[in-house]
Amino acid sequence: MATVRDLRAKAGEEPITMLTAYDAPTAEIVDEAGVDVVLVGDSVGNARLGYETTVPVTVDGIAHHVGAVSRAVEDALVVADMPFLSFGVDEKDSLENAGRMLKEEGAHAVKLESGPHTVDLTEKMVQLGIPVMAHLGLTPQRVNQYGGYPRQGTDQDEAERILDLARAHEDAGAFSLVLEHVPSNLAAEITEAIDIPTIGIGAGPHCDGQVLVLTDAVGLSEWSPSFSKQFGNVREEMETAVGDYVAAVDSGEFPAEEHSHEEADLDDLY
């Protein structure tokens, strides 16, 4: 099993790989491929649950997926993404919600979409033994404030604010930092400025690692952001398989003899 220490040791030596997963079979595939970190992202909301954003994802909802992923993963570090308003409102609730992911669902760490309000909370979680991955730049739980998913850190003040927050979260004890949709030169500077690993998504090649949403990476999503890349076309593969199934049932080709069984000793009914 990978640990947060392994991840820190890998930073700057070898690229860190992180992918999301939301269920047992895909988590198994991701883990067996050798990914370092499996993130049970609140992106499950739009990637798998049919919501437009991540805002409606609940603690019970994410817990369900964290449990499924933890049961399937043998080697990677499992990180539970804390949903919108499950942290930061009330300290006790924040700690209990995050603690539940480790105590009841088998995660090794939590991720918090970060800001000035998560510095002290990160410190408290770390003191209690809950490893925290910070997340700066574009934090999609703020979609209603942004009015979309705009690039972040594009002017000097904003870039400095993100760098200051990165330092503050490192000082608070975060073990790594996701940087989303920021200029690659800003990500390079932050990576240089802090010792904990940076993991980029839409943040260029200079981070210590990369993360993508699995449904985007394998080509299951209908739409994916411009900074993502499809490494396969699972949607097309599924469409073909499902179409073939429907055609085979319609034509009577399925089920064939090898898919059925007869019991010679059965009496005629009635």
What is the set of active-site residues?
180
Min CB(67)–ligand KIV separation in Å: 17
Residues 121 and 96: beta-carbon distance below 8 Å = no
> Binding string to ligand KIV for residues 13 to 52, with x set by CB under 6 A, is what?
-------x------------------x-xxx---------
Q: Which residue carries 């699995």 as its tokens? A: 214
Judged by CB under 6 A, the number of residues near ligand KIV is 10
**Least CB distance from residue 79 to ligand KIV, whole Å?**
9
- The number of C-alpha atoms within 13 Å of 56 and in the hemisphere containing its C-beta is 10
Q: Which is nearer to ligand KIV, 94 or 176 (CB)?
A: 176
Residue pair 209/198 in contact by the 8 Å Cβ criterion:
yes
Q: How many residues does the chain have?
A: 270
178 makes contact with ligand KIV (CB under 6 A): yes
Q: Which is nearer to ligand KIV, 156 or 226 (CB)?
A: 226
Strand partners, 200: 179, 210
Residue 170 is a binding residue for ligand KIV (CB under 6 A) = no
- Which H helix or E strand runs over 28? helix 24-32
| Nearest to 101, CA basis, from 74, 124, 132 | 132
Which positions from 100 to 139 touch ligand KIV by CB under 6 A, shown as an x/- string? ----------------------------------------
CA-to-CA separations, 198 to 167, 183, 201, 208, in angstroms, rounded:
12, 14, 10, 5
Q: Which is nearer to ligand KIV, 33 or 246 (CB)?
A: 33
Which residues of the chain form contacts with ligand KIV (CB under 6 A)? 20, 39, 41-43, 81, 178, 201, 211, 213
